[in-house]
Amino acid sequence: MTVMAKPEHTKARTVVSAPALSPDTIAKPDLISVEQAKAMDLARMTDLFKAHLNPGQLHFMKLLGFHKIKIERAEGMFYIDQNGRKILDFFGGFGSLAFGHNHPRILEARRKFQEEKRQEIAIAFMSQYAAALAHNIAKCSPGDLDMVFLGSSGSEAMEAAVKLAERAAGPKRPKVVYAENSFHGKTKGVLAITDGQLYRADFKVADNVVRIPFADLEAVERAFRTDPEIGVIVLETIQGGGGIIQAEAQYWQKLRALCDQYGVLWVADEVQCGYGRSGRFYAFEHYGVIPDVTALAKSLGGGKAAVGAMIARREIYMKAYGTPKTAMIHAMATFGGMGEACVTSIEALNVLYDEGLIDNAAATGDYLLQRLQALREKYPKIIKDVRGKGLMVGLEFHDFSQTLPMVLRPVVSVLDEKLKGSLSGFVGALLLRDYDVLVAFTEYNRNVIRLEPPLICQREHVDRFIEALDSLLARGIVSIVKDFVKSQVR
């Protein structure tokens, strides 16, 4: 290509050779293939994690021994690592694995969808799969909770829930009440109602929020009575990150009455405690009440797809987005209602009821709680509390000093705050290393081990977990600490 230019003060033409607008071919970068990724060893995984993902997080993975494990596959209640050992999953991806790993019916539904080359992105056209999933979610929801927004995560579902409620409440009532030790997501909007300095860091968050203690009726009524700008209250029905914390039935019943009295919209965050985990489809159903808006995610995707949903009462939804002029204010995003994700969720909901997993969560959860209570009585100086509902259970240890011999307690007690979470970390690390059992932890009360096994969990799995925990606690605190320290120097 040549460019003809006319220099100043001369009639002569100058011919200039211009560079090519683009190279003839685009060179392929040094990419890793799917098969190479599958065959990657731990050393290479570690290098790439440090280089491209989260170097700081690796510190905690090393403390717990997680960095030594490469998961090759997963099935049912178990992960299988590079050495072929089966790890019992009592973590459950913070409640994302209701069906365990790779449930065959869910895999088959996805396989058929792919083989038939069905459509994925449904933006220009209506999707029969999104419509069917929305119908199914509405059928699973009590009362007039029947308007559904589909997204890809719990944070997105809660963003949609809070935006809808705030808009329906109106511009004269913009304030949102939330609870201490709440967790509603890490995205910028819901960060304002996530009560954790770790996550908030130094971000500038919305200031139209009011913080109150969880499960405190007087605080709710006082806030509603004294601040007429409050239009919304957002609460987890069971606080997960707070340490598996519940409120009494009368709290929820009175809350519903107060919201009706003061015209405040109630958003129930069921992202973690919903979808059958508590022994009912929604945890709030235990108390005979219905919120104005709620949200699901986690296991809604059947453990194979990222799916979240907001569900609202029709009256509330129509008030916020019910006209052609307002309909697109918060319509589905590009990946909301994707075909295969919806098919996965449709099949998962059918499996949930066909296999009686909600009933199983209630029965097996009761059994788990009974067995843990027996351990609490056996180790009263170690286990402080056992609580939960269904297969959402918290096991709380005493502060570290209280677990030691009496002579050491005064010396160590001054360090209790700094040592919070150490015992749960030791126990979690040793359960994995010595007993092939995986458990989780909580964000705010670090002395709590969080147990959220898949809803397919059976008594035999509970027995194996309890036997492992019993064997570990029987070593005594001093031995547990020594064993953990040894694991760090190997």
Least confident of 25-29, 109-113, 373-377, 486-490: 486-490
pLDDT in tens, 329-370: 898 888 899 999 999 999 999 999 999 999 999 999 999 999
Q: Which residues pair with 449 in a beta bridge?
A: 395, 441
Q: Which residues pair with 314 in a beta bridge?
A: none
- CA dist 192 and 185 (Å) reads 9
- CA dist 343 and 141 (Å) reads 19
User: Is it the case that residue 13 has pLDDT exceeding 70?
Assistant: no
Domain C-terminal end among 329, 355, 381: 355
Residue 191 shares a structural domain with residue 213: yes
What's the pLDDT at 333?
A: 85
Tell me how far apart the 2 most distant CA atoms of the chain are, in Å: 102
Domain that holds residue 232: 104-355
Nearest to 118 by CA among 344, 312, 305, 322: 344
Q: Three-state SS across the chain?
A: CEEEECCCCCCCCEEEECCCCCCCCCCCCCCCCHHHHHHCCHHHHHHHHHHHCCHHHHHHHHHHCHHHCCEEEEEECEEEECCCCEEEECCHHHHCCCCCECCHHHHHHHHHHHHCCCCCCCCCCCCHHHHHHHHHHHHHCCCCEEEEEEECCHHHHHHHHHHHHHHHHCCCCCEEEEECCCCCCCCHHHHCCCCCHHHHCCCCCCCCEEEECCCCHHHHHHHHHHCCCEEEEEEECCECCCCCECCCHHHHHHHHHHHHHHCCEEEEECCCCCCCCCCCCCHHHHHCCCCCEEEECHHHHCCCCCCEEEEEEHHHHHHHHCCCCCCCCCCCCCCCCCHHHHHHHHHHHHHHHHCCHHHHHHHHHHHHHHHHHHHHHHCCCCEEEEEEECCEEEEEECCHHHHCCHHHHHHHHCCHHHHCCHHHHHHHHHHHHHHCEECEECCCCCCEEEECCCCCCCHHHHHHHHHHHHHHHCCCHHHHHHHHHHHHHC
Q: Determine what percent of the chain is predicted with pLDDT higher than 90.
A: 80
Residue 164 shares a structural domain with residue 254: yes
Nearest to 127 by CA among 306, 336, 297: 336
CA distances from 157 to 19, 240, 306 (A): 50, 17, 11
Laid out side by side, the sheet with 392-397 consists of 383-389, 392-397, 448-451, 440-441
8 A C-beta contact, residue 133 and residue 294: no
Domain membership of residue 466 (yes or no) is: no
What's the pLDDT at 46?
A: 94
Q: Which residues pair with 415 in a beta bridge?
A: none
Domain membership of residue 414 (yes or no) is: no
Domain C-terminal end among 355, 381, 412: 355
Domain membership of residue 22 (yes or no) is: no
Residue 244 shares a structural domain with residue 273: yes
Domain C-terminal end among 300, 324, 355: 355
Residues 376-401, mean pLDDT to the nearest whole number: 94
Residue 188 shares a structural domain with residue 209: yes
Least confident of 206-215, 318-327, 417-426: 417-426
User: Is it the case that residue 123 has pLDDT exceeding 70?
Assistant: yes
What's the pLDDT at 239?
A: 98
Question: How many domains are there within the chain?
Answer: 2
User: Is it the case that residue 107 has pLDDT exceeding 70?
Assistant: yes
CATH assignment at residue 485: 3.90.1150.10
Q: How confident is the model at residue 411 (pLDDT cuts 50, 70, 90)?
A: low
CA distances from 133 to 106, 110, 129, 337 (A): 14, 15, 6, 9
What's the pLDDT at 389?
A: 98
Nearest to 157 by CA among 206, 190, 130: 190
pLDDT in tens, 284-310: 999 999 999 999 999 999 999 999 999
Write down the pTM of the prediction: 0.91
Domain membership of residue 395 (yes or no) is: yes
Radius of gyration for the chain, computed over Cα atoms and rounded to the nearest angstrom: 26
Q: How confident is the model at residue 36 (pLDDT cuts 50, 70, 90)?
A: very high
Residue 346 shares a structural domain with residue 367: no
Average pLDDT along the chain: 92
Residues 142-157, mean pLDDT to the nearest whole number: 97
Domain membership of residue 27 (yes or no) is: no
What's the pLDDT at 78?
A: 98
Residue 366 shares a structural domain with residue 350: no
What's the pLDDT at 74?
A: 97
Kindly state the tokens that stand for 222: 């006082």
What's the pLDDT at 482?
A: 84
User: Is it the case that residue 413 has pLDDT exceeding 80?
Assistant: no
Domain membership of residue 225 (yes or no) is: yes
Least confident of 63-72, 217-226, 300-309: 63-72
Q: How many residues does the chain have?
A: 490
Q: How confident is the model at residue 409 (pLDDT cuts 50, 70, 90)?
A: low
Residue 200 shares a structural domain with residue 259: yes
User: Is it the case that residue 39 has pLDDT exceeding 80?
Assistant: yes
What's the pLDDT at 1?
A: 46
- CA dist 66 and 58 (Å) reads 9
Residue 434 shares a structural domain with residue 322: no
- Inter-axis angle of helices 42-52 and 55-64, nearest 10: 140
Residue 263: which region, alpha, beta or left (left: phi > 0; alpha: psi -120 to 50)? left
CATH assignment at residue 300: 3.40.640.10
CA distances from 137 to 130, 317, 333, 449 (A): 11, 16, 19, 31
- CA dist 112 and 485 (Å) reads 50
pLDDT in tens, 257-282: 999 999 999 999 999 999 999 999 99
Residue 304 shares a structural domain with residue 333: yes
Domain membership of residue 175 (yes or no) is: yes
- CA dist 424 and 170 (Å) reads 45
pLDDT in tens, 422-474: 899 999 999 999 999 999 999 899 999 999 999 999 999 999 999 999 999 99
Residue 257 shares a structural domain with residue 286: yes
Residue 184 shares a structural domain with residue 313: yes
Kindly state the tokens that stand for 325: 């002029």
Kindly state the tokens that stand for 406: 């009496």
Nearest to 182 by CA among 235, 111, 252: 235
Q: In angstroms, how far is CA 15 from the centroid of its own chain?
A: 64
Task: Give, rounded to a whole angstrom, the gap between the first and last alpha carbons of the chain.
Answer: 65
Kindly state the tokens that stand for 201: 């860091």
Residue 292 shares a structural domain with residue 309: yes
Kindly state the tokens that stand for 20: 């090519």
What's the pLDDT at 2?
A: 45
Residues 384-392, mean pLDDT to the nearest whole number: 98
Instruction: Say which residues have a Cβ less than 8 Å from residue 407's Cβ, sequence separation at least 6.
Output: none
Domain membership of residue 206 (yes or no) is: yes
